Amino acid sequence: MIKIPEEPKLTSLKEIEPYTWQLPKHGEMKVPGIIYGDKEIINHLLEDVKLGKEWNALKQVYNVATLPGIQKASLAMPDVHPGYGFAIGGVGAFDTKTGVISVAGVGFDINCGVRCLRTSLTKEDIVKNQEQLAQTLFDIIPAGLGSKGDIKLNFEEIDEVLVKGAEFCIERKYGTKEDLEFIEENGKINGADPKSVSDLAKRRQFKQIGTLGSGNHYLEVQYVDEIYDEKAAKTYGITKKGQILIAIHCGSRALGHQIGTDYLKELAAASRKYKIPIREKELVCAPFKSPEGQKYFSAVNAGINCAFANRQALVHLTRIAFEKAMKTPHKDIKTLYEIGHNTCKLEEHDGKQLIVHRKGSTRAFGPGRKEIPEAYSSIGQPVIVGGTMGTHSFILHGTKKGMEKTFGSACHGAGRLMSRNEAKRKWRGTELLKDLKAKGITIKGHSMAGIAEEAPGAYKDVTDVVNVMHNAGIAKKVVKVKPLVVIKG
C-alpha cells in the first residue's frame, strides 16, 4: 500500500512555556518545531497560514524539521519571517554523521553580522559636532551600489583574505590584535579552502573589501540610553548612560552572494543524488560528510572570513573618520564584540559535534563556553541585536538556558513587517530624514528610496522581539542604545 504523506498541520501550535510555542512533531517531521514569540508574533505567523500564503515561515519551520539528522527541534527566534527555504530567525542543528548542510540555512549574505565598538566619548561630545562627524563618516565609508573599497585585490590576495579573515587586515595595520580577541572565532575561522570558491565569486570581491553595501546595512553612532544589568554592562566596558558605541552591520558582500548562487545549483544536484526530498526550491542540502557537503562547508568558511575582513576594514575607516572629525585617537575606539548572524558552524552541544545553521539568528553562547573571550566568560557572550533605522538597538548576553534550549542562539533584529514597495508608498525618504532630524538623529544615505524602504514602521518593534528572548530566558538584556548618526548605503 502506498503511504500518503500527512499534510502539515501548521496551526496546531501550543504554548509549552511562557513565550515558547511548539509545533508538535507530526507528518514527516523528525523533531518538533519550537517558535519563540509573544501572542502578536505568533498570531502574525498563523494569519499567514490561514491566508494560504505560499511564502510562510511556519511551513519553513516544518520543512526544516523533516531534514535528515536534525537535532532536538527546528527553531525559530521571535524576529521570524519567511526566508528562502529556511525562515529568517531560523536555527537548525544537525548531527555531523547523519545530518545535512543546507544553503538555505546560511543564506545569500554569509556571515552578515554586526561589529560593536565602544568609546569613552559621551552623547554631549557627539551632539556638539554631529553634522561634521556624520559628513566625515559618509565621505570616508564606501557605501551604496557601486562603491569601492581602498583595498584592491588580485586572485592571490583574495585567497589570503578567504583563509585569514580579519587577520588579513591586521597584517596591513587596519586595526590591532586586540580587535581580533573580541570577534567570534577571533576573526578567522579554520577550514576555508579558497579552491571551494569560484573565480567569479572572487572577481566580484576584488574591490569590495571595506564597503558597507546597501539594503538594511548601516553604520550607526549610538549612545547608551538604558542599562538593565550593570555588572554585565561593566564587563563589556559600558560604564555609564550616554556612553558612545558604534555599530557596523554588513556582511560578505558580492563574494557571499555568489557562493550562495553557485552552491544552490551544486546542492540541488546533491539533494537529488542523495535522495533528500526538496520541499522548497531553495531548501537544498547535502549530507554534511559527503564531498559536496564538505565543499560547501569550506566555501561558507571562506565567506565567513571574507565578512570578518570586510568589517575589520570598515572599523579602520571608522577610526580614521573619528580621528578626523572628533580628534579621537584610534586606540580609544575598542572592539566590544562582533557577531555573525548568517552562518553554519561546527559546535559541540551536550557532548556531540553538531553543524549549527543560524539564518538571521545570532550565536548567543552562555557563560563558560570556551569560544567566548576570557574577559566575558563569566557573563556569556554579547548578543548584538540591531533595531531599525532611527529607533534603538540592544545588547543582550547569552545564558545557560539558551545553551540548553536553542543551541546558544537568539534573535538578530526586528524582522520585516511590510514589503519594500508598501514602505515606499507610505513614506518618502526626504520626509523621514526630516522627522528623524527632529528627534536628534542625522542620517546620511546614498538612496532616498533605500531610506524609505528601511523606514522604522516597516519593521516589527525590536523591543517586543528582545523582550521575548529576555522573558524566555534565552538571552538577557544588558543595555539599550539609541542612534545619533546613521550611515546608509
Task: Please list the active-site residues.
Answer: 412
Q: Is 281 in the site for other proteins (CB under 8 A)?
A: yes
Q: Is 79 in the site for other proteins (CB under 8 A)?
A: no
Q: Is 113 in the site for other proteins (CB under 8 A)?
A: no
Instruction: Identify which of residues 68 and 215 has a Cβ nearer to other proteins in the complex.
Output: 215
Site track 390-429 with other proteins (rule: CB under 8 A), x = hit: --------------------------x-xxxxx-------
Nearest residue to 345 (alpha-carbon basis) of 330, 317, 364, 326: 364
Instruction: Identify which of residues 232 and 487 has a Cβ nearer to other proteins in the complex.
Output: 487
Pick one of 147, 186, 463, 467: the residue that binds other proteins (CB under 8 A). Answer: 147
Cell of 95: 548531527
Pick one of 59, 72, 81, 249: the residue that binds other proteins (CB under 8 A). Answer: 81
Instruction: Identify which of residues 134 and 254 has a Cβ nearer to other proteins in the complex.
Output: 254
Query: Which region holds residue 463: left if phi is over 0, alpha if psi is between -120 and 50, else beta?
Result: alpha
Instruction: Identify which of residues 35 and 117 has a Cβ nearer to other proteins in the complex.
Output: 35
Site residues for other proteins, 470-489, by CB under 8 A, read 489
Please, is 171 exposed, middle or buried when counting C-beta atoms within 10 Å of its C-beta (0-12, 13-18, 19+)? exposed
Q: How far is the CB of 49 from other proteins (least distance, A)?
A: 14
In whole angstroms, give the CA distance from residue 147 to residue 306: 17
Q: Is 174 in the site for other proteins (CB under 8 A)?
A: no
Instruction: Identify which of residues 118 and 488 has a Cβ nearer to other proteins in the complex.
Output: 488
Query: Are 361 and 77 spatial neighbours (Cβ–Cβ below 8 Å)?
Result: yes
Query: Are 110 and 256 spatial neighbours (Cβ–Cβ below 8 Å)?
Result: yes
Q: Is 215 in the site for other proteins (CB under 8 A)?
A: yes
Q: Position 131: which residue type?
A: E
In whole angstroms, give the CA distance from residue 445 to residue 284: 36
Site residues for other proteins, 41-60, by CB under 8 A, read 54-55
Question: Strand 218-227 vs strand 243-250: parallel, antiparallel, or unpaired?
Answer: antiparallel
Site size with other proteins, rule: CB under 8 A: 44
Angle separating helix axes 253-273 and 291-326, nearest 10 degrees: 170
Nearest residue to 454 (alpha-carbon basis) of 477, 482, 422, 484: 422
Q: Which residues of the chain form contacts with other proteins (CB under 8 A)? A: 54-55, 81-84, 88, 108-109, 144-148, 200, 203-204, 206-208, 213-215, 254, 257-258, 260-261, 264-265, 281-282, 416, 418-422, 446-447, 449-450, 453, 489
